[in-house]
């Protein structure tokens, strides 16, 4: 009877040791997986930069006289990402994707009889650069934000190739329903956001 009890006890002890080892193994595995997941998330946060850039100084002049119809104006824009890239520690060529957040056109006419958006039937905005074809990025019809401002509808395109270039050209195609009799200053502000993986 004692021997049988001894066998039973020995078996239970061995089983408990086995379970303890298994428990320790499972706990260690869970800890390893948790640590790996945390590490991957941390690395992802470290190597992925989400940055914003605004080009608010795209200024051009609609020169008079202009008959009613289509006016095409090109304005060269320097990407100016060198300082930002240096401060954030990335190479411009590492930009993975970029999207436009807004394109706003504002008429800054100081004339006593100023031109307003009422004479603008539609606007189309495009971009092009060296070795990068022209692409329409935004447009607007006769429904405008105010007498002086047009917030364009975005096309949702990736503009990374233009930001990687040293400069790009912004093109505005403005269709008017009346003649323009004096020079009209216009400003365009383009806001964009882009993703960079500097360590990839």
Containing structural domain, residue 22: 1-47
Q: Which range among 33-37, 99-103, 140-144, 186-190 shows the weakest confidence by mean pLDDT?
A: 33-37
Domain shared by 32 and 54, yes or no: no
Domain shared by 170 and 132, yes or no: yes
Note the pLDDT of residue 64: 96
Domain shared by 68 and 127, yes or no: yes
Our count of domains for the chain comes to 2
Q: In this model, does residue 82 exceed pLDDT 60?
A: yes
Q: In this model, does residue 166 exceed pLDDT 60?
A: yes
Q: Which range among 82-86, 96-100, 106-110 shows the weakest confidence by mean pLDDT?
A: 82-86
Which of the listed ranges 16-30, 86-100, 183-197 does the model predict with the highest average pLDDT? 183-197
Domain shared by 178 and 79, yes or no: yes
Cβ contacts of residue 146 below 8 Å, gap of 6+?
A: 117
Domain shared by 37 and 124, yes or no: no
pTM for this prediction: 0.74
Domain shared by 94 and 8, yes or no: no
Q: In this model, does residue 94 exceed pLDDT 90?
A: no
Percentage of the chain lying above the pLDDT 90 cut: 62
Q: Are strands 49-62 and 153-154 parallel, antiparallel or unpaired?
A: unpaired
Domain shared by 27 and 62, yes or no: no
Strand partners, 172: 73, 125
Domain shared by 1 and 100, yes or no: no
């Amino acid at each position: 009877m004692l021997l049988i009890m001894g066998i039973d006890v020995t078996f239970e002890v061995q089983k408990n040791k086995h379970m303890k080892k298994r428990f320790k193994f499972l706990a260690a595995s869970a800890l390893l997986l948790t640590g790996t997941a945390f590490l991957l998330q941390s690395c992802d946060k470290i190597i992925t930069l989400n940055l914003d850039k605004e080009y608010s100084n795209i200024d051009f002049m609609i020169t008079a006289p202009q008959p009613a119809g289509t006016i095409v104006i090109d304005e060269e824009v320097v990407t100016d990402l060198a300082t930002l890239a240096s401060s954030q520690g990335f190479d411009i060529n590492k930009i993975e994707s970029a999207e436009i957040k807004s394109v706003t056109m504002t008429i800054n006419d100081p004339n006593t009889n100023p031109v307003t958006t009422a004479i603008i039937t539609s606007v189309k905005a495009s971009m092009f650069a060296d070795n990068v074809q022209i692409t329409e990025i935004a447009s607007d019809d006769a429904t405008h934000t105010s007498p002086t401002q047009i917030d364009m509808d975005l096309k949702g395109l990736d503009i990374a190739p233009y930001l990687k270039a040293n400069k790009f050209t912004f093109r505005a195609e403005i269709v008017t329903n009346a003649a323009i009799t004096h020079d009209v200053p216009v400003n365009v502000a383009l806001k964009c956001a882009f993703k960079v993986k500097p360590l990839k």
